[in-house]
Amino acid sequence: MTSRFLVTGGAGYVGSHMVLALLDAGHEVTVFDSLRTGHRAAVPAGARFIEGDLADLPLLDRVLGDGPWDCVFHFAALSLVGESMEHPMMYMSANGGLGFGLIDACVRNGVKRFVFSSTAALFGTAGDGPIDEDTPVDPGSAYGESKRVVERALYWADRIHGLRSACLRYFNAAGADPQGRAGEDHRPETHLIPLVIDAALGRRPALTLFGDDYPTPDGSCVRDYIHVTDLAQAHLAVLPLLTDRSVTFNVGTGRGNSNLEVIRAVERVSGLPVPWKAGPRRAGDPASLVASPARLMAATGWKPEFTDLDRTVETALAWRKVHPKGYGA
> What mean pLDDT is predicted for residues 304-320?
97
| pLDDT score, position 128 | 65
- Comparing CA positions, the residue from 165, 65, 150, 170 lying closest to residue 114 is 165
Helices and strands in the chain: count of H runs, count of E runs = 11, 14
Query: Taking a C-beta distance cutoff of 8 angstroms, is the pair 35, 51 a contact?
Result: yes
* Angle (nearest 5°) at CA 31 between 83 and 117: 45
pLDDT at 127 over 90: no
Distances (CA, A) of 36 to 15, 49, 94, 297: 14, 14, 12, 34
Reply yes or no on whether 327 is catalytic. no
> What mean pLDDT is predicted for residues 5-11?
98
Mean pLDDT of the chain: 95
> What mean pLDDT is predicted for residues 241-255?
96
Which position among 143, 170, 214, 225 bears the catalytic label?
Answer: 143
Query: Taking a C-beta distance cutoff of 8 angstroms, is the pair 72, 111 a contact?
Result: yes
Question: What pTM did the predictor assign?
Answer: 0.95
Extended strands (E) in the chain: 4-8, 28-33, 48-51, 71-74, 113-117, 164-170, 172-174, 207-210, 222-223, 225-227, 247-251, 257-258, 276-279, 288-289
- Contacts of residue 307, defined as CB under 8 A and 6 or more positions apart, other chains included, come to 253, 255
Query: Can you tell me whether residue 264 is helix, strand or coil?
Result: helix
| pLDDT score, position 140 | 86
